[in-house]
Amino acid sequence: MRRSALPLACGLLAAGLVTVPSPTPVGATLPASCSVPTSTGHQPSFTYLGRYTVGGLPSGETAAEIVAQEGARLYVMNVASLDIVNIGDPTNPVRIATITLPNDPTSVAVKNGLVAVAVPAAVDTDPGQVLFFKGTRQVGAVQVGSLPDMVTFTPDGSLLLVANEGQPNSYGQPDSVDPEGSVSIIATAPFRGADRRRHHHAEPRVTTVGFADFNAGGRRSGELPADVRISGPGASVAQDLEPEYITVSDDGRWAWVSLQENNAIAKIDVRRGRVERIIALGYSDHSLPGFGIDASDKDNAINIANWPVKGMYMPDGVANYRVGGETFVLTANEGDAREYDGMPGGADVQRAKDVADLSLFPEAASNAALARLNVTTVAPATVGPDGKLTSLYSLGSRSFSIRTANGDLVWDSGDDFECLTADLYPATFNASNSNDTFDNRSDDKGPEPESVVVGKVGRRTYAFIALERIGGVMVYDITDPHAPTFVQHLMTRTFGGAEVGPDSGPEGLVFVPAAKSPTHQAMVIYGNEVTGTAVLWGIGA
């Protein structure tokens, strides 16, 4: 799935293939297995343009988690508000309005001037809402499923899709509630200009796509792949599946929905309002060359190596694009744990040393090796007669993947992200988004690829992948989906200061094609939830 390529060993810095904050870090000595397919032909130029800082929020509150853009307006989602920002001059973004929102809104999207905001209920397990705005004026509200977590329009704007995550509040407790996950499809005509006047008496048409047919004994239960991870204690399939993120095909016919905790994707037939199929994503084998991980935060070293561990992809963000008439789906393989009352141990992950059969995994006896890696204690892990794990599965694969429209794996970046960041930031390798501590996240999910978008610049197509922990955005040339190559790391976080920043914790990410940019130059914009900043980069062909 990967091709061997240029070894790192500081070569990327010397070749000028990366953008790094000042001062430039000293390169690390990396294992020979660290080789990254690197673009050598003509590639676009990247220029830092500016940042928008939310400001004024209480300490500890997240801001700028999700961003959306249309024309000269940038929409920045905060903990209880939506900022509308003029980016006509991207070097000087200026807030022009703020909309106060109830509860903790989770997502924003915009199409043809209509803005949609996902708002969970005050009690997360109750049905949530999508609020619609024209400018700062609310023009409608629609009830959707529990915990709406992401909204996106179809390319023509006629429909809005909503990922209703439906997380439980606990398992097996007297007050436990575990809503079913679902996808809402909302017709937007009643909320649009002249259409709104024509349809002002019409109730919004909402189609709910659920998963109850895949429950045990359901009419489609036989279609559920065995490797789809159903792990909540006592949960049905429909309760356990938790839609996270949605990408819609260019023609609006198909949608792919990440089911993160389930290590799966649902392919949705948008026209018919039904699940076409559920796709089990399988596992990344960290024992294979090119797929290593740094598994310990206590070895005081960069140690990207092969281990007897498989990584569940568990994607958060997803995107799609077409090449030669074929659709490909990209996934940012972050990983996510379930931590609820009623789960054994309170969470579905534990340290390998505490739960593994050490006769099978002697590496798990050493903190400098595999002992501290967080692995799942439930499906797909297997347990021996003594109650100890006989197989090790970690959360996330620390990579991004390219798959066919039906889920077959085409390419995976393997250990690229850890190799690249080790080469670029050896003193703060695998630091978290809230500290500069060396090796801090190696025992968990490493750099945590969070979101991915795709964009075309000139004749070539690029993937942009946000790394939630170390920060910044990885750029790959994916013109050939079978042989992507690394282009740049866009980074504005600096290390060693009194505070983390100026930009840390990227979450939401948008690509702005030149034809839809206020400057007629392509841009990539990403929101940083820790620092409450949105960063704008210009892209020159």
In the predicted structure, residue 194 carries a pLDDT above the cut 50: no
User: What does the alpha-carbon distance between residue 445 and residue 263 come to, in Å, rounded to a whole number?
Assistant: 15
* 521-531 confidence digits (pLDDT tens): 999 999 999 99
DSSP line for 4-28: --EE-TTHHHHHT----PSSPPPPP
* 93-105 confidence digits (pLDDT tens): 999 999 999 999 9
* 386-405 confidence digits (pLDDT tens): 999 999 999 999 999 999 99
Query: 76: left (phi > 0), else alpha (psi -120 to 50), else beta?
Result: beta
The average pLDDT across 249-270 equals: 98
pTM as predicted: 0.94
User: What does the alpha-carbon distance between residue 322 and residue 461 come to, in Å, rounded to a whole number?
Assistant: 10
Q: Which residue has tokens 């988690």?
A: 65
At 59, the pLDDT band (50, 70, 90 cuts) reads: low
Burial class (CB in 10 A: 0-12, 13-18, 19+), 404: middle
* 458-510 confidence digits (pLDDT tens): 999 999 999 999 999 999 999 999 999 999 999 999 999 888 999 999 999 99
Report CA-CA distances (Å) from 148 to 130, 142, 188, 192, 242.
8, 11, 17, 22, 10
Question: Is-contact 162 183, C-beta < 8 A?
Answer: yes
Question: Is-contact 395 316, C-beta < 8 A?
Answer: no
Q: How many CB atoms lie within 10 A of CB 400?
A: 30
Report CA-CA distances (Å) from 302 to 31, 151, 309.
9, 38, 18
